[in-house]
Each structure stands twice: as structure tokens, then as C-alpha cells.
Structure 1
């Protein structure tokens, strides 16, 4: 059956987007037309329309362009993982906003009785500050998991290194954690894609991933060789623990770790 083709203007009207948006998505590699006329005009198909709807849906949910690319590339399994992260983040934000709204409503009621009640206003400020508290970690790990994480940390880093990490962590917010999780999820999706096509760990695609991988690790270690070794110790010690006793799951399989090590070793040789 012949495919139905649409010129840019037709396709833009059908999808309720601007022609400028379509050109931008083509430029950044999100959505390229399926063909061109002899005069060089873009032609889109129904399949392009479905891909555009996916892009718009993910954009509406707050995904960045790079995250959208990763979701479309890895397929449903990677998309489910990304949506789960996004869902958790939005639910957390909703709970924060609900508490702030409740405090605001209580303050409004109090100010109807006493317009000079500054304690009510200070209460709102305190509630907002509490929602930004750096104790967010406790919401994701129970007491037992936190204790095991501390034991792993003590076995992997020196006390001086632990103090350095703790000092840096004072400015590391929940939003930073969500962003880091998204970034690692994106890199993990690319890792799975490369392994699925039997890519060479020393090849250009894997080495591009290695560069991003090293940059993410460096953002944590700050280039400190001791902390870098401690990070390796941490995951080594985590891997030695019985699976049921681990405070967090190992992020990669043995095969994936092997690919990662080969990829990073090749990157170090080339740089």
C-alpha cells in the first residue's frame, strides 16, 4: 500500500504544531521527514505523525530533548523506567505543594482574625523551607538500608574522604539527585543499546558514551584519585554482599560491567 505523504504545512496543521517546531526537531535529530520532493520540500508520513505525538507527550511530561531521544531509542522498557522516575518526581512535588498550600490556607484563616499575626506568616516560610530540607535521602531508604549504606561507605572510603563527600553533599539537593538519576538512566539505556548491537567497546559510539560516563563520575569524585578508588571499592563491596542483604540493587549485570570496564579502559588508553 502506498504511503500517504504530507507537506510540512499540512503536517503541522494536522499535528497542531508550528512549521518552525518541525524544522527545529529535524535540526536536533528528533524527527526527520521521511522524504523530500524533487524541489527539496519536506514530506512526512503517518508514521512520522505517531513519532511526533510521542515527542510531544514526553515534552509535556517535562523530559528534556536528550531524554526524549533516549526514550525513543531504547523503546518501551526504557520508556517505562523513565516514566517511573518522572512519576515519582511529580508525586513528590505534588506532596510538597499540598503541604505549602495547606499552610497558606491556614495562614489566610488566621490573618482574617488578626492582620498583624506575623507568626502565621513565619509558619508558612518554615513549611516551605522544610520542603527544601536536605534530609530527602531518608524518604528513599529505610533505617536499615541507611545503616548498611553507612557501613559500605566506611569499608570503602577513608574517614577523610567520607568527610569530603559529606561536605560536598550539603549542597546536593533532591532535585540534583533526580537529575543525576535521569542522566544515569539515559547513559544506562545507551549502554544497553550498544550491547544489543554487539558494539565494539573501543568503537566511536562506545567511546562517546565513555566520555559522558567519565564526566558523570568526575562530577562526584572531583578528580580525586582516592575518592575514585573508593567509589570502585563501594560497588565492589556491594557486589560481594548477598543480593537479599544489599541496601540498593547493583545497577548493572556482570556482562554490562565487563563492557563498561572495557569501554573505560579503551578510553583511558586513547586519552
Structure 2
């Protein structure tokens, strides 16, 4: 065995390609080992190493394995083919970058909403995450508009969601503490929630409300227990009597 010969494990470590991938390349005749040692173990030459580096380079700009076989066998490639492949790869990466930035924006939004709390109700937090993801997926175009209520990157939307989150946390505390839905404390809470709801509706245009109502799939998660829902219904009913 030549001193310059590499085993499959050595070639894998040197190039960052997995042993499994190298075996697959051998199977499809993309990269055949120069020799085999006793027991059938693959041995790769420096020429094989060079070919693997070429394979990695062409994969990097988006060539399929079949295209790579054809290119390496012909030894030449049209310049326009390279430009087209590079352009396509760039578009793919830009789309991935946009998706990553969207996720970062969503995480920033969540962090803003929950900041300042020692303990947070898991059900409420999961509801918030699901709502954000659901809304951006179904109202994607509206979420890009700078002044849209659906734009999670706006300060106004962050403040609105933070107010809702704070009130929902308060509701859970009221119910947990056994507060009477007809009490002054409950009445003050329900008036705050109603005012916030009115504020939200005023920020939504008629077209946006209609669009939201037309969504095929509602957010099936709910942040409240049956007891909390009953508290809301009784508190709203009691407030309505006073109006």
C-alpha cells in the first residue's frame, strides 16, 4: 500500500464526507476506489482525493450527482451552465435566508411578549407560538406590510400582543385565586379586556377582518381551561348588565 493511499475512513475525515456517502459514490460509479486491500476495504489514491474535491465543488453550486458524473467524464463544462447553476443556488440560499430571518423575527416577538415574567403558563405560551406561526403562514402577504397589524416586526403589534399576554396571565391568576366573576376585581379585568378587543378591531380594516374569517383552519389551541372560559362568560355577562 502506497504511503499516499487513504482508507475510506481517512478520506472521510480529511474531506468531511461521511463513510456512508463514499460507499454510495462507489456504488453509483461516481468515485471508485483505486484499489482494495485484504477483506475488501477500499483504498483511495491522491487522484481519487482530487476527484472527490471536484465532486464537492460542483455539489456546492447545486449540481446533481448525475450532472457531476457527466461533467467530470467530459472534463469541460459550458460557462453558461455554471452561471445558471450558481444563480439557482443563490436563489435557494436567499429563500433559506429569508426563512431564517422570519424565524428570528418570530423569536424576537415572543421574547418581547414574555419578558419580565418569572413563571409563565405553558398552555398560554404554546398558544402564543402557534398563533404567531399560524397567522404568518395564512396571512403571509399582510405580515409583510409595514403598518399591518399582522406584521410581527412592528412595535405596535409587539405592544398589542404583550397587553393580551399580560391580561391572559391575569385571568389565570384570578381564576386560580378563586375570584368571583361578579366582583369589582373581575369587572375591572373584563373592562380592560373589552377595551383591548375594541382597540384591536379598530386597527383591523374590514378587508382584514373578512380575510381572517375566511381561513380554512382555525387555531385549534386554546389558552384557557374550561373554568377560565366560564369565568370570562360570567364576567362578560355581568358587565353587559351594567351597560
User: Taking structure 2 as the reference length, what is the TM-score of the superposition?
Assistant: 0.39
Q: Which has the higher contact order (CA 8 A, sep 6+)?
A: 1
Structure having the larger proportion of residues in helix: 1
Structure index of larger Rg = 2
